Structure 1
Amino acid sequence: MLKHYTYILESSTNGRWYYGHSANVEQRLIQHNNGQNKSTRNKGPWRLIFIREFENRLEANRFELYLKKLKNKSYIKREYTRYFL
């Protein structure tokens, strides 16, 4: 079964975070840095700072949405420190 991941990217330009999920995080990072994502275009370069594995896409998507709703970097760093790189 294909694993899925929730990830956080950080902009080297302005420190902003981007939350996403994918089965291939390395390829997604390349796409973000090549301007292939409207939300992250011209805001990079981006670097991967967080990755968490899930058994399926639905779980990864739900966790991504949960993180987005938190809007609290300090809490995320404290509660999910083991997933930060």
Structure 2
Amino acid sequence: MTHHYVYIIYSTSHDVYYKGYSTDYIMRLDQHNQGKTTYTKNKGPWKLVYAEKLNSKKEALIKEKMLKRQHRQYLLWLFKQKTNLIK
């Protein structure tokens, strides 16, 4: 069974958050840190600050789109909840 995740990573060097979707968010984090993605290249190092498992790809993509529209204040509130952080 394939799992679907939305994740948020943070770059301390650029003070920026990146929100994404993946079936393997740990592997994806490694790709971001290795400079294998266009937007996050040269902005690392990146650290995982949030990950949430969803029931389907469709649900995860909808959640990703919602997260990408949110302001920093909402994200900071979300991180404080820590209910969906997967470690």
TM-score by length of 1: 0.88
CA distance 1:77–1:83, shift in 2 (3 Å): farther
Residue matched to 1:73: 72
One-letter identity of the residue aligned with 1:83: N
* Paired residue type of 1:32: H
Moved more, 75-84 or 8-17: 75-84
Q: Which residue of 1 aligns with 2:53?
A: 53
User: What is the alpha-carbon root mean square deviation over aligned residues?
Assistant: 1.6
Deviation at 1:76, TM superposition (A): 2.8
Structure 1 runs (4+) greater than 4 angstroms displaced: none
Provide the rounded CA distance (Å) in 1 between the counterparts of 2:74 and 2:85.
13
What is the aligned residue count? Answer: 84
Structure 1 unaligned spans of 5+: none
Q: Which runs of 5+ in 2 are unaligned?
A: none
Q: Secondary structure at the match of 1:21?
A: strand
Partners of 1:76 and 1:84 lie apart in 2 by 13
- Secondary structure of 1:14's match? coil
Match of 2:69, SS state, is helix
Shift of 1:14: 1.6
- Alignment identity in percent? 33
Q: Deviation of residue 63 (structure 1)?
A: 0.4
- Aligned partner of 1:4: which letter? H
Deviations 1:53-84 (A, max 9, x none): 101111111101001112x1222332462234
